[in-house]
């Protein structure tokens, strides 16, 4: 009686060669390094040295809430041609009423923004990293605090975890390859 032919699952099953067993480890390490690269060389400010501190005269401000509840808060200074928008994490707790009562058009403000931010990408707006009213001794948020809030620690830990996992897998495969007996040698008794 003839045997029935087995059906293929559609997943190619290639034999793992000596070099092929290191591919997953290499991919993990490369992915981790790519994440590190994009974190360190992105356009966001990473250090306080990336920020420009400028003092200017307030000309106008706008505190709008959209139809879906998204908040768009911005200010304009006479000395800066772009609209300066508050960062997302500051908008939620920003007291607009207190700001309107304390600061009037014509008052001097000190702002901090990212020097590497491309105005073509942001449609003529700059994201604020720091906002202070020096004459009234009021600091709403600082550049260093904003940088710390923007840094996504989970992404940094993920990149380190991928590199460590890839290195561990690489070492495991090396040890496994070293301890593996060659197929053509007979067993010793």
Is CATH 1.20.120 correct for 48-150? no
Q: What is the pLDDT of residues 90-149, one digit of tens each?
A: 777 788 888 888 889 998 998 888 877 766 666 778 888 888 888 888 888 776 666 666
Which band of pLDDT confidence, cut at 50, 70 and 90, is reported for residue 168?
A: very high
How many whole angstroms separate alpha carbon 83 and alpha carbon 144? 21
Hey, where are the domains in the chain? 21-42+152-178, 48-150
User: Tens of pLDDT along 55-68?
Assistant: 889 999 888 888 88
- Paired with 110 in beta bridges are 55, 132
Alpha helices (H) along 80-141? 88-91, 96-102
pLDDT more than 70, % of the chain = 71
Alpha-helical (H) ranges within 52-131 are 88-91, 96-102
Query: Under 8 Å CB-to-CB from 29, ≥6 apart: which residues?
Result: 162, 163, 166, 167, 170
- Residue written as tokens 């490369």? 30
User: Which has more confidence, 23 or 3?
Assistant: 23
C-alpha 43/C-alpha 119 separation (Å) is 12
The region of weakest confidence among 9-13, 152-156, 181-185 is 9-13
Predicted TM-score (pTM) of the model is: 0.58
Examine the pLDDT at 157 and tell me if it is beyond 60: yes
pLDDT of residue 14: 45
């Amino acid at each position: 009686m003839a045997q029935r032919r087995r059906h293929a699952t559609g997943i190619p099953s290639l034999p793992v060669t000596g070099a092929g067993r290191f591919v997953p480890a290499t991919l993990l390490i490369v992915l981790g390094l790519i994440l590190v690269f994009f974190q360190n060389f992105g356009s966001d400010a990473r250090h306080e040295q990336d920020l420009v501190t400028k003092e200017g005269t307030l000309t106008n401000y706008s505190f709008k809430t959209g139809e879906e509840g998204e908040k768009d808060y911005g200010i304009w200074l006479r000395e800066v041609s772009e609209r300066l928008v508050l960062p997302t994490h500051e908008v939620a707790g920003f007291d607009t009423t207190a700001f309107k009562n304390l600061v009037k058009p014509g008052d001097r403000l000190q702002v901090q923004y990212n020097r590497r931010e491309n105005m073509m990408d942001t449609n003529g707006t700059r994201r604020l990293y720091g906002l202070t009213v020096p004459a009234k001794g009021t600091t709403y948020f600082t550049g260093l605090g904003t940088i710390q809030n923007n840094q996504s620690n989970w992404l940094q830990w993920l990149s380190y975890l991928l590199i460590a996992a890839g290195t561990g897998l690489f070492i495991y495969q090396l040890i496994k390859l070293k301890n593996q007996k060659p197929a053509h040698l007979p067993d010793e008794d």
